[in-house]
Amino acid sequence: MGPYFAVISTRLDRSPLEAARLPRDRIAVLLGEYKYLAESMAGQYGSLHSAFASEGHMFLFESPDAALQYALRLIEAWRRHNQTSPALSETPHMPIRVGCCFGECIQLQTGEGWVGRGVDLARPVAEAAGLDEVYTTGNVLDVVDLPL
């Protein structure tokens, strides 16, 4: 049995952007703004690893408490950033779906990625989340020490 980590998976709901028919360059700016915000905040909460791909963003945390705090703050910060950033002022809000799972994760020998049950479950958990909501597995709630 390997080490256990809290895995956060985020999915951006792009339907408001498709409905607005935004040009690709504006969508690229929006995604860049999100990526920068998410990764800089993750570093503040002690993220061990992050991976950004077209299907979503993944972060690993040693502490489930820090992971859950990060997830809640990310949604709040992204909403605020959409309202206050000049680059995004005329762009519709793109909501986030956030999933959090606590499970076994093993780093690949190349050091370039992670595999394991925690990583595998985080993505479907995020897909089940509502817009601008955090959805967690029961084992996360069992190990966190946060007033919910």
Q: Any bridge partners for residue 11, and if so which?
A: 97
Into how many domains does the chain fold?
A: 1
pLDDT band for 52, please (50, 70, 90 cuts): confident
98: pLDDT strictly greater than 90: yes
Give this prediction's pTM. Answer: 0.84
pLDDT, the chain, mean:
83
pLDDT over 70 percentage in the chain: 88
How many CB atoms within 10 Å of residue 69?
Answer: 15
> What's the residue count for the chain?
148
Give me the pLDDT at residue 41, please. Answer: 93
> Is 148 inside any structural domain?
no
Residue pair 6/140 in contact (Cβ under 8 Å)? The answer is yes
Mapped to the 3 state alphabet, what secondary structure does the chain carry? CCCEEEEEEEEECCHHHHHHCCCHHHHHHHHHHHHHHHHHHHHHCCEEEEEEECCEEEEEECCHHHHHHHHHHHHHHHHHHHHHCHHHCCCCCCCEEEEEEEEECEECCCCCCEECHHHHHHHHHHHHCCCCEEEECHHHHHHCCCCC
49: pLDDT strictly greater than 70: yes
CATH number of the structural domain spanning residue 20: 3.30.70.1230
Mean pLDDT highest for which of 22-26, 114-118, 119-123, 130-134?
130-134
Give me the pLDDT at residue 70, please. Answer: 93
> Is 91 inside any structural domain?
yes
> Is 86 inside any structural domain?
yes
Q: Choose the weakest-confidence range: 65-74, 89-98, 121-130.
A: 89-98
> Is 76 inside any structural domain?
yes
pLDDT band for 19, please (50, 70, 90 cuts): low
Q: Choose the weakest-confidence range: 17-21, 54-58, 90-94, 119-123.
A: 17-21
> Is 45 inside any structural domain?
yes
How many CB atoms within 10 Å of residue 64?
Answer: 24
Its domain, for residue 48, covers 4-143
Rounded to whole angstroms, the Cα distance separating 85 from 87 reads: 5
